[in-house]
Amino acid sequence: MVKIWGLVAIVLIVLVQNVSSYDRPGTRKNLVIHPSSDDPLSPDQVHISLVGPDKMRISWITKGSAMPTVVYGTTSGKYEGSATGTTSSYHFLLIYCSGRINDVVIGPLKPNTVYYYKCGGPSSTQEFSFKTPPSQFPIKFAVAGDLGTTEWTKSTLEHISKWEHDVFILPGDLSYANFLQPVWDTFGRLVQPLASQRPWMVTNGNHEVERVPVLHRQSFTAYNHRWHMPYEESGSTSNLYYSFNVFGVHVLMLGSYADFAPGSDQYQWLEKDLKSVDRKTTPWLVAVIHAPWYNTNEAHQGEKESVDMKESMETLLYKARVDLVFAGHVHAYERFNRVYQDKFDKCGPVYINIGDGGNLEGLATVYKKPTPEISLFREANFGHGHLVMANATHAHWEWQRNDDDVSVEKDSVWLTSLSADSSCQI
């Protein structure tokens, strides 16, 4: 089995896009995490995500098949709620078959409340808990892209776990399985301590595509099975793009690796979604992509997911007065001024690249010189971000750098919502 995987790995690494030639020092080794229990019904890789205003999706994997049931309640050990969902599994290249992927939506839930839950019914031995987001400001998001499964990833996750946040946002590139499906399982186990306690809202990157010519023609198989996001609830027909609200914040999760051309399903969905945004109830409007539209690093310049998607959608976001656009892909941190069509524009979004989660490819260290005026802060180091919507008009953004094993604030800025700027009225 190990030999087969070795061969598969060699063949497939050659096929992976974006093989990088630039200098990326300071990598740390990849982790391999085994299931914590031999019990075929033991919940493995538990993670949760928001569904609509007051529900939560609970996802977990079991070796054996069991009822996809979650019991939950606001007191530990007492479960007044119960819900049953669906189970799926998938094959990859004949030699890999996933466990049973259980997917259950629970609710309605009260805001800002700790819920205790068990996956698989009341007899399950392990109790988990999560907190729902509040129904008033402040709202706190942790943000990190391009995570992977390395010792650096672990360090980033430990730092995030020490910061009291409501929702985690991941701008694409999750496991870096690169077709080796057991890595998705390691990723699920690595993130479980965080992702079982706070909703993880993710979008896809190039490492989620996992399409193999002839052998596995379907794209996003592992991603779509394992990371079911609330697309149905946001009127989207694809798990690759959707939107969600957290109280006064509307977040657009766009798909850099889905069709984004004018007239495409994603484009039409985005137009419709933006029309439905009411800045009186959601004064904050945030977009998340994977391949950055603005980037002064030498890495990943000129890719169509950056250039063509920007060309297609930048004006839509600008006219809607999107406040902030997060991207990943480039393994470094960069913050821009408000920008539209490559120039400063006081009614344009602030662009932030936060692809510094810690994956095995290392950092993108070479920057264009001189620094373009629109780029306000850039640094090739691992870390993550804190975004606090303090109220309807003011938000605080902070970049936390992994200084070896300590999280240190290196960049921070107050932002004001464009919805409050009368000279930028929509």
Say which residue the tokens 């910061």 belong to. 163
The partner in contact with residue 173, picked from ligand NAG, Fe ion, none with C-beta cut-offs of 5 to 8 angstroms by kind, is: Fe ion
The partner in contact with residue 390, picked from ligand NAG, Fe ion, none with C-beta cut-offs of 5 to 8 angstroms by kind, is: ligand NAG
Q: Which residues contact 360 (CB under 8 A, 6 or more apart)?
A: 27, 30, 148, 149, 150, 176
Beta bridge partner(s), residue 51: 55
Closest to ligand NAG by CB, 347 vs 390, is: 390
Residues assigned a catalytic role: 300
Tell me if 372 sits within 8 A of 388, measured CB to CB: no
Give the shortest CB-154-to-ligand NAG separation in angstroms. 33
Tell me if 9 sits within 8 A of 180, measured CB to CB: yes
Name the DSSP class of 372: P
With CB under 6 A as the contact rule, the residue among 393, 412, 420, 424 that binds ligand NAG is: 393
The interface mask with Fe ion, positions 155-194, x = CB under 5 A, is ------------------x---------------------
With CB under 6 A as the contact rule, the residue among 390, 413, 420, 424 that binds ligand NAG is: 390
Instruction: Tell me the window of 204-212, 226-234, 236-244, 385-393 that interacts with ligand NAG (CB under 6 A).
Output: 385-393
Of residues 285, 305, 287, the one with CA closest to residue 242: 287
205 touching Fe ion, by CB under 5 A: yes
Instruction: Tell me the window of 165-173, 266-274, 283-291, 388-396 that interacts with ligand NAG (CB under 6 A).
Output: 388-396
Amino acid, single-letter form, for residue 220: F
329 touching Fe ion, by CB under 5 A: yes
412 touching ligand NAG, by CB under 6 A: no
What is the H or E stretch that residue 265 is in? helix 265-275
Say which residue the tokens 């006219």 belong to. 319
Instruction: Return d(Cα 92, Cα 389) in angstroms, integer.
Output: 41
Tell me if 46 sits within 8 A of 58, measured CB to CB: yes
Of residues 143, 153, 160, the one with CA closest to residue 203: 143
The partner in contact with residue 206, picked from Fe ion, ligand NAG, none with C-beta cut-offs of 5 to 8 angstroms by kind, is: Fe ion
Closest to Fe ion by CB, 72 vs 351, is: 351
Q: Where are the beta strands (DSSP E) in 238-303?
A: 242-246, 249-253, 284-288
Give the shortest CB-384-to-ligand NAG separation in angstroms. 22
Closest to Fe ion by CB, 206 vs 234, is: 206
Closest to ligand NAG by CB, 183 vs 324, is: 324
Closest to ligand NAG by CB, 136 vs 341, is: 136
42 touching Fe ion, by CB under 5 A: no
391 touching ligand NAG, by CB under 6 A: yes
Ranges within 127-146 binding ligand NAG (CB under 6 A): none
With CB under 6 A as the contact rule, the residue among 28, 211, 394, 410 that binds ligand NAG is: 394
Instruction: Return d(Cα 104, Cα 57) in angstroms, integer.
Output: 6
Give the shortest CB-395-to-ligand NAG separation in angstroms. 9
Q: Which residues contact 6 (CB under 8 A, 6 or more apart)?
A: none
Bond prior to 349 in cis (omega within 30° of 0) = no
Instruction: Return d(Cα 351, Cα 325) in angstroms, integer.
Output: 5
Positions touching Fe ion (CB under 5 A) are: 173, 205-206, 329
Positions touching ligand NAG (CB under 6 A) are: 390-391, 393-394
